[in-house]
Amino acid sequence: MLLDLRKINQLIDLWLDEDVNYYDLTAKIMVDDDAVAKFGMNAREPITLSGIKIAEMIFRKMDPECTFESKRRDGDKIDTGETFAVITGNAQALLTAERVALNLVQRMCGIAGLTAQYVQEIEGTKAILLDSRKTTPGLRMLEKYAVTCGGGRSHRLGLDNGIMLKDNHIAVAGGIRAAVERAKAYAPMLTKIEVECDRLDQVDEALAAGVDVIMLDNMSNDDMREAVKIVGGRIPLECSGGVRLDTIRGKAETGVDYVSVGRITQSATCVDIGLDDV
């Protein structure tokens, strides 16, 4: 997944404004204006790296002349104690940027690491792991990017990326066929239409309506296997609902094409990363 650096720069301004306000009082008092420092970003536990470019942008926002040496790339597995980036520059500026940079990288690495665990669980099946829109407001692009660093893929960035007909949309429209017909009448030509189904008879109806993708929502594994037979490979099938590390393998083995998991962004825990003098 590509990052929009223009939008990230706008976000960085907001993050720094929130954290710094007028100035870093401690750094201003304790550190000479012309002092130079050299710090290393260190993994204090095993991590899957994500957000290294974001960290560089944050430090450069405070000190455009600083040097940022990245020793590893996003997606790399980092061992405990490894220094994966070294930053040299104005000490005041680097110390002021420290917390914002660490917060973002710790969050993104947590998501990437959890995603990697889910990907490993379905290794050997045809299923591809997808994320969802269950992201932190304001951080969606970065959290979805972190998913890709862990080996997953993005379902859709926002509501304008595709048509997802869920139960309430279908109820308002008067049924699956009516909902799909309305969607096809107004959707841009390249836009896919996905329908959420929680019963097998809805799978038949969605297939007959000519949808592009069917989401099997909270179905049992037996029903999903039956849905796979009904569809017969004509369109992709996505599994969603109740997916955890201990259940994803069984769901993937039903033969679905995609498994979407909200937990990889919603429930990921930040990892422990430090900025230490070197």
- Residues that are catalytic: 99, 134, 166, 196, 217
Angle at 246 between CA 245 and CA 248, to 5 degrees: 65
The number of CA neighbours under 13 Å toward the Cβ of 240 is 22
64 vs 21, 59, 261, 273, CA distance in Å?
19, 8, 39, 23
Q: How far apart are CA 199 and CA 82, in angstroms?
A: 50
Q: What is the b/e burial string over 209-240, where b = at least 16 CB atoms within 10 angstroms of the residue's CB?
A: bebebbbbbebeeebbeebbeebeeebbbbbb
Q: What is the b/e burial string over 242-257, where b = at least 16 CB atoms within 10 angstroms of the residue's CB?
A: ebeeeebbebbbbbbb
Q: How are beta strands 83-90 and 36-43 bridged, if at all?
A: antiparallel
- Residue pair 77/114 in contact by the 8 Å Cβ criterion: no
Percent helix / strand / coil, the chain, rounded to 5 = 45, 20, 35
What tokens appear for 110 in the block?
Answer: 């947590």
- Residue pair 200/226 in contact by the 8 Å Cβ criterion: yes
Q: What would the DSSP string read from start to end of 70-84?
A: E-S-TT-EE-TT-EE
Provide the β-strand partners of residue 165.
Answer: 195
